[in-house]
Amino acid sequence: MKAGQLDRVIEIQRMTTVVDDYGTPSQQWAKLVTLRAQKVQSSTDEYIRGAGATDVTVIVFRTRYVGGITTADRVLYDGQFHNVKELKEIGRRQGLELRTELLGSS
């Protein structure tokens, strides 16, 4: 993976539980890691769902390998949140391909 192709910055976030001053737990998104990435594919697909036809914006990112990322995490890119839908390891821990959907578009 060439460094020159990693021309985007993404932030991987994970849901965490935070306890406030009164001892009340609440769920919040917290930054897990900030990565340089390549935007491989961006498309808007139309799916027919129970509520009718909907558009889903799909973006595929390639980045250096980071262990521990799951489909429960989300990606912050260009001010928008994306759900991680699929992860693929490239080579033997050389890289990672993240298939994401724009949050709220489905």
For residue 16, the enclosing domain spans 3-102
| Predicted confidence (pLDDT) at residue 106 exceeds the cutoff of 50 | no
Q: What is the pLDDT of residues 69-80, one digit of tens each?
A: 999 999 999 999
Q: What is the pLDDT of residue 77?
A: 95
Q: What is the pLDDT of residues 1-56, one digit of tens each?
A: 666 788 899 999 999 999 989 999 999 999 999 999 999 877 666 555 555 556 77
Domain count, the chain: 1
The CATH number of residue 85's host domain is 2.40.10.270
The full DSSP string for 37-98 is EEEEEEEEEEEEETTEEEEEEEEEEEEE--TT--TT-EEEETTEEEEEEEEEEETTTTEEEE
Q: What is the pLDDT of residues 54-68, one digit of tens each?
A: 677 889 999 999 999
